[in-house]
A = this chain, B = another copy of it.
Amino acid sequence: MDFTSFLTSLTTSFLIFVVLMLVFAWLSRKPGNAVIYYPNRILKGLDPLEGSGSRSPFAWIREALNSTEADVISLSGVDTAVYFVFLTSALAILVLSGLMLLPLLLPVAATEHVKATTDTTSNGTFNNLDKLSMGNIEEKSPRLWVYLIGTYWVSFVTFYILWKAYKHVSELRAAALMSPEVKPEQFAVLVRDIPQVHGGQSRKEQIDSYFRTIHSETFYRSLVVTDNKEANKIWEELEGYRKKLARAEAVFAASKTLGTPEGTRPTNGVGFLGLIGKKVDTIDYCNEKINELIPKLESKQKTTIREKQQAAAIVFFNNRLAAASAAQAVHAQMPDSWTVTEAPEPRQIIWSNLTIKFYERKIRQSIVYVVVALTIFFYMIPIGLISAFTTLENLERLLPFLKPIVELNVIKTVLEAYLPQIALIVFLALLPKFLMMLSKAEGIPSVAHAVRATSGKYFYFTVLNVFIGVTVGGTLFSTFKDIEKHPNTIITVLGTGLPANATFFLTFVALQFFVGYGLELSRLVPLIIYHLKRKYLCKSEAEVKEAWAPGDFGYATTVPNDMLIITVVLCYSVIAPIIIPFGVVYFGIGWLVLRNQALKVYVPSYESYGRMWPHMHSRILAALIIYQITMLGYFGLKKFPFTVLLIPLIILSFLFTYICSKKFYRSFEATPLEVAYREVKEIPNLESIFRSFIPPSLRSEKFDDGDQFEDALSQFSRTGSSI
């Protein structure tokens, strides 16, 4: 890539961004689109456009800049605020690095008179960049000292910013956990791996008596986890009919206003998908079905609560301190039974995972790790196979009816160009979902935890395949075989491979921020889907609401993507400092755009009180260490005699990691007692706390006060021993 085409690509990306921003400014002002551009405000009951003042196209930028962390927490929760701490930290690291490195390193490189340069940072086609990079410095040159100082500077800046950020996040977390508002999960613990019941006791009796003995004064009651598969099925069926009824009623009402005053009562078949079978009146049919299902569900609820009790429970305490304290203590003499952990929020519990046994979880975990490792190392194999299989000839042979279309010249050209990549594109699109499925299969009890696990897996995938894969230019597997034989080569591999690919990554970063954030801000895709759905599919209010439901941030993919950018920019920061402004723009625009989305669009689907942070922290450190090792290799190649001075820096990074984990990590794993003992605002309604954990399919339909659950349980306790 020469300089002109680099500039062209940059300008194009920038123009796309500007266009998307203008599109956003225009579309977001139409009231009909408010549900796409302001769903979070609408769901919070706020006026979508309130506080925007004049509707200038760039008002959103001012609003984003003026918003405080407290605004973010109140509108979107602690997890979102922590994500902004992450973005701010990345930005701060790059800005501080840039302020020192750009004025220091660029002149040093530009003024070097090289006799015959063989070293290049752009595969030899991009001389303007080469002149400004470390490749331009002669071997053994004393000018390398400046680069060494640069390497130290970036590391210390990272340490400083990360330390401050960890402290800040730790305080955010503590403040949220200390808040006087009653949060049900703070009064509960999750108990798993409950041993066999002996002596005619029921599960519930066993659990109650165990906790009542140990926590005699603070135990409130327990909610035994049940196998809800059957109840869920009936409940889902019931909910399906309810939706159908609402839809039919909406259609009927619409037909009344539009057509005949009596309206046309919608009908449907009773067979497959409502398309075949005897035609019936939908409203009557649904009402009938609902009336049929409600008692069925009720009796199933009763039998589930009574007979399907599993070896796991949510145990409630009458204050937060007792719950926090119990969640941290080993309960059983054999610590693989009665394992007690903090309870997740009710909305994010993965119920089916709660009853997976201790060793089964460990085994599942190991299997998942192996599968992930295989995916990372060998993902090209299945894709290669699929690509080899999905040629035009094969398509024509297998699906002969496609032949006339495929034979068209235009389509043929396009297909021939893209078919080989389709497998890769489909694979990369499905990968996060696949990794999430794997993470859930580990037996993790909460969605937040599964998201963290997915984010970790995706991070390894991107860093190893995109970053190191591009760098070493071969398959990961063959590289690792080399490294396994000669462990010291890992340093030279990075040192030789990385510098040659600077321009590739420059363009990569630029594309990410201009096009990626442009699409993010303008929300073109959700907008189009929403309007299509509203026009052709949605009839009832609930369906419309479902169509614009904004979703959450999707940390499982956004965080690893940001991490990849940090890794790339850090690794090139000293070798080709010109990359730093690109990184700054990425995180700067990212901060702005996502701040807007956080305040107005996304609705978090769970709250983990910043437990994502330690993962972000340690991955930034991992990026830093990759960078330091790269530099070690590159300085070595430059035959700089003081290269060895980088080794203390690497040791320091590990030390910093260790100290941070000792200083901060434990209070993210558990709630410190100092935090948990704070008083709540009012005397907590323990009964409603308990009720909030009852899964929807077991909630009573008739009585809102949920006496039934109570009854079933108490009755059960009285009769006992049906298991």
Mark A residues whose CB is within 8 Å of B: 170-171, 174, 213-214, 217, 321, 324-326, 328-336, 338, 358-359, 362, 484-488, 658-659, 662-667, 669-675, 677
**A326–B485 alpha-carbon span in the complex (Å):** 49
Are the C-beta atoms of B663 and A336 separated by less than 8 Å?
A: yes
Are the C-beta atoms of B214 and A335 separated by less than 8 Å?
A: no
Are the C-beta atoms of B487 and A663 separated by less than 8 Å?
A: no
**A677–B665 alpha-carbon span in the complex (Å):** 29
CB distance from A615 to the nearest CB of B (A): 18
Are the C-beta atoms of B325 and A329 separated by less than 8 Å?
A: yes
Are the C-beta atoms of A672 and B331 separated by less than 8 Å?
A: yes
Neighbour of A170 across the interface among B333, B664, B670, CB < 8 A: B333
Most chain B CB neighbours (cut-off 10 Å) among A174, A669, A672: A672
Contact partners of A331 in chain B: CB under 8 A? 672-674
Contact partners of A214 in chain B: CB under 8 A? 321, 673-674, 677
**A651–B669 alpha-carbon span in the complex (Å):** 30
Neighbour of A670 across the interface among B330, B359, B672, CB < 8 A: B330
Are the C-beta atoms of A335 and B213 separated by less than 8 Å?
A: no
User: Chain A interface secondary structure, helix, strand, loop or mixed?
Assistant: helix
**A659–B359 alpha-carbon span in the complex (Å):** 8
Please judge, given known A-B contacts A674-B214, A677-B213, whether A662 and B362 are in contact too, CB under 8 Å: yes
Are the C-beta atoms of B329 and A662 separated by less than 8 Å?
A: no
Neighbour of A667 across the interface among B334, B359, B663, B667, CB < 8 A: B334
Copies in the complex: 2
**A487–B667 alpha-carbon span in the complex (Å):** 39
Contact partners of A672 in chain B: CB under 8 A? 329-333, 335
**A174–B335 alpha-carbon span in the complex (Å):** 12
Are the C-beta atoms of B675 and A333 separated by less than 8 Å?
A: yes
Q: List 26 A-B contacts (CB under 8 A).
A: A170-B333, A170-B334, A171-B333, A214-B674, A214-B677, A324-B329, A325-B325, A326-B673, A328-B330, A329-B670, A330-B667, A330-B671, A332-B667, A332-B672, A333-B672, A334-B667, A335-B662, A335-B663, A335-B672, A336-B662, A336-B663, A338-B674, A359-B659, A362-B658, A362-B659, A485-B486
Please judge, given known A-B contacts A214-B677, A325-B325, whether A666 and B330 are in contact too, CB under 8 Å: yes
**A488–B484 alpha-carbon span in the complex (Å):** 9
Contact partners of A664 in chain B: CB under 8 A? 334-335
CB distance from A589 to the nearest CB of B (A): 34
**A675–B336 alpha-carbon span in the complex (Å):** 15
**A321–B213 alpha-carbon span in the complex (Å):** 11
CB distance from A268 to the nearest CB of B (A): 55
Are the C-beta atoms of B667 and A333 separated by less than 8 Å?
A: yes
Contact partners of A328 in chain B: CB under 8 A? 328-330
Contact partners of A359 in chain B: CB under 8 A? 659
**A671–B330 alpha-carbon span in the complex (Å):** 7
Contact partners of A659 in chain B: CB under 8 A? 359, 362
Contact partners of A658 in chain B: CB under 8 A? 362
* Chain B residue at minimal CB-CB distance from A216: B677
Contact partners of A669 in chain B: CB under 8 A? 330
* Chain B residue at minimal CB-CB distance from A358: B662
User: With contacts A174-B333, A358-B662 known, what are 7 further pairs, Cβ within 8 A?
Assistant: A214-B321, A325-B325, A330-B666, A331-B674, A332-B672, A335-B664, A487-B487
**A175–B265 alpha-carbon span in the complex (Å):** 75
* Chain B residue at minimal CB-CB distance from A661: B335
Are the C-beta atoms of A673 and B170 separated by less than 8 Å?
A: no
* Chain B residue at minimal CB-CB distance from A670: B330
* Chain B residue at minimal CB-CB distance from A211: B673
Contact partners of A665 in chain B: CB under 8 A? 335
CB distance from A446 to the nearest CB of B (A): 20
* Chain B residue at minimal CB-CB distance from A330: B672
CB distance from A372 to the nearest CB of B (A): 18
Are the C-beta atoms of A663 and B325 separated by less than 8 Å?
A: no
**A171–B333 alpha-carbon span in the complex (Å):** 8
CB distance from A176 to the nearest CB of B (A): 12
* Chain B residue at minimal CB-CB distance from A331: B673
Contact partners of A171 in chain B: CB under 8 A? 333
Contact partners of A671 in chain B: CB under 8 A? 330
**A335–B661 alpha-carbon span in the complex (Å):** 10
* Chain B residue at minimal CB-CB distance from A171: B333
Contact partners of A170 in chain B: CB under 8 A? 333-334
Which 4 pairs, one residue from A and one from B, show the smallest C-beta to C-beta distance? A335-B666, A330-B672, A328-B329, A174-B333
CB distance from A318 to the nearest CB of B (A): 13
Contact partners of A336 in chain B: CB under 8 A? 662-663
Contact partners of A667 in chain B: CB under 8 A? 330, 332-335
CB distance from A403 to the nearest CB of B (A): 51
* Chain B residue at minimal CB-CB distance from A665: B335
CB distance from A502 to the nearest CB of B (A): 32
